[in-house]
Amino acid sequence: MFVVPAMLAACAGQPPEPRAEDRPSVPTAKLDSAAARFMANRLLDDLALSPDGTRLAAIESRGAEDQIVVFELGDPVLEPRPVVRERRADRDLAASRSIRTLAWVGDSFLVYAIESALRSEEDGFARPPGRTQRPMFQQRPGVGTRARKTRLYATNLEGRSRYLAKRWRDADVSQFQHQIIGSLPDDPIHVLLNYQGRAIRVDVRNGGRLTVEPAARAEVASWAADHAGWIRAGHSGRGWNRHHRFFARRSPSDPWITVSDYDPYSEPGIWFAGFGPDPSRIYVFSDQASDRTTLHEYDLATRRPGPPITADAPKESDVTGVLLAQADDRLLALVACSDRCGLSFLDPALGRSWDRLEADFPDRNISILSRSRDDAHWIVEISSDVAAPEIHRFEPATGAHTKVFDARPELAGLALAPMQTVRYRARDGVEIEAYWTRPIGVEGPGPVIVMPHDGPDDRDHWGFDPVVQYLAARGFSVLQPNYRGSSGYGRAFWLRGHGEWGGAVVDDVIDGAASLVASGVADPGRIGVFGRGFGGYLALQALVDAPASFAAGASFGAITDLEILMSDDQRFVGRAAVDEKVVRSAGDQDGDRLSADSPAQRAGQIRAPILLAHGAQDPRHHEKHADAMEAALERAGKSFESIRFAGATQEFLDDRDRIAFYSRLGDFFERHLIGRTVAQGDQTAPATERQAGP
């Protein structure tokens, strides 16, 4: 159980109605002004400071249009100048297109990627005439036709844009052109790119390319370059498969050294963190020395890691990142995360400047978004649970800062609901950390939504969360449990989630709801559950396993059938091996647990009404999961509503769709949780309501 103190007094004021041209056509729900305010895209995203520190580039995405804008930071009045525009014609398959990546090359060019749906005929996956078999590189990737493609472009500041891979021999399969390694010092026309297992140098003026690291390795997911632009490390990402390899070398003329080769799902190990100023030494993360992730200097000559580098990082935290000097790879600070993330500086002068910044913004999260080449100018984001993000320019030499803009100007002046870190005990005694948010001025038991995060090994953090704030504005308290298997709590806690998808992990969600009732802050008859992706799976499975505990449930992009997931994952590199460790329990050789832990195969046990939503272009969780759940609910005569978003993936690429979904979600929970007390176990099942999305 946990105790929550009284909240602050409510602040008057209603958000303005959205403009008529910004309102999507949604036949199934009236859009509420809170959804338009909280769920619109940020004003600008993917902020990138030019190497000389004078200009800021960003992606602006609102409704039907994405554009890249650039503005001069020295101007007294900031006027973003559009450089590239991409327009979505319709909210169907064509809407599944967006600008996704942005980086400077010198001070005069920008590179960016456009991501869109990958289709068989136009992207090289159809069998050529006269061929009886497809070449290996033309095999259809992913699940069904829901793979994605990215195409790399460059533009100068006048907006003259070019598709860089137009003449590349193998560009007909145009996936993964967005993996930018970085630009090169003193080279204003080339960019380094991860592409098909190789590192290549690309001329942004004409797309000419040169292979820098030709040793294509299937196990290498990406390459890394040091401050001078030399490719000196190659590694597979943790979670890519169950065989983690990491290579490094002192210089391009030296042989590769295998630094690590291990199964992260069965044993602790080390993985790449960054380079150092001494070419013979690099930085690595490790969970070999303790349950927590620590940072070490690794000697390539002796092939041994040194002792942990701690700075002033809290003991009960994981080191998740490093801040290196851009000029020489000198270690400046550690990024350490517990319930919130912070910087622990090793450079005393920088540490003093950062302390002055933090003193001006007490109890805020401050993160670095971009830096100039000489580290003289930084762009930082400042926010908290009750303060929407602000973007500031920070001068490390003096500690001075200047506000550039509000990331969410529509929330300016609006009182937000405080978020608290709380803890409760699961039924087997494991302590679960969670975040608890109540609407301003609310006391006593009321309607609550339990919201497990996507994952399974992600986590929620304390701070500003637009979904949480939107639900609080609609009158709901929100509990966000970091169930077992979540990252940030040590290796042992992460391993506790393996093989427990439909077991202890779901119990953690159910037990979170029970702790609210026991603490007297939730009406036992007005508790809902909602999640996205894996969190959506947990929400639906909680409705199956504890039908009397929840009055309503909702999901977006949820896994609904583990057998479908395992079958589909056979077509992804490495995923099947991971599933055998993470999804399936040790004693489930015949798949009995897969069936029992699949909401679509146990829909008859659900009592609560459900709202199902799915993106038709989701490449990870195919919409067949939504099909299976709908069919099962229909057979069982259960109450449900269904929405499909033709252009959405695992996220909403068009914020009009996001606004429409959350407006519908708020209305759904309001009908079933607010304004009346529902006796436990007494939910009825009216006729099925299935309606198409906008």
Residue 572 has pLDDT above 80, yes or no: no
The pair of three-digit structure tokens given for residue 474, joined into one six-digit string:
């609609």
Q: What number is the average pLDDT over the span 618-635? A: 93
pLDDT tens-digit map of 508-552? 999 999 999 999 999 999 999 999 999 999 999 999 999 999 999
Residue ranges of the domains in the chain?
Answer: 347-415, 419-690
- Chain segment 273-293, per-residue pLDDT in tens: 999 999 999 999 999 989 999
Question: What is the DSSP secondary-structure string of 412-472?
Answer: TT-----EEEEEEE-TTS-EEEEEEE--TT--SSEEEEE-PPS-SS----SS--HHHHHHH
pLDDT at 131 over 50: no
The answer on pLDDT for 153 being more than 90 is yes
User: pLDDT, tens digit, for every residue of 399-453?
Assistant: 999 999 999 999 988 999 999 999 999 999 999 999 999 999 998 899 999 999 9
Confidence of residue 97 (pLDDT cuts 50, 70, 90): confident
- Rounded to 5°, the CA angle 126-128-131 comes to 120
What percent of the chain stands above pLDDT 90?
A: 65
Question: Closest by alpha carbon to 599, among 566, 571, 631, 560?
Answer: 560
Average pLDDT over residues 312-329: 88
- Band (pLDDT 50/70/90 cuts) for residue 586 is low
Q: Give every CB contact of residue 315 below 8 A, 6+ residues apart in sequence.
A: none
Q: For residue 133, count other CB atoms closer than 10 A to its CB.
A: 8
Instruction: Please give the mean pLDDT across all residues of the chain.
Output: 85
CATH architecture assigned to 419-690 = 3-Layer(aba) Sandwich (3.40)
pLDDT in tens, 193-212: 998 888 999 999 999 999 99
* pTM score, whole prediction: 0.89
Instruction: Check pLDDT > 80 for residue 610.
Output: yes
pLDDT band at 126 (very low <50, low <70, confident <90, very high): very low
Instruction: Name the band, by pLDDT with cuts 50, 70 and 90, for residue 23.
Output: very low
Tokens read off for 344: 């622990």
* Confidence (pLDDT) at 28: 38
The reported pLDDT for the residue numbered 590 is: 60
Q: What is the largest CA-CA distance in the chain?
A: 74
Residue 472 in this model has a pLDDT that exceeds 50 = yes
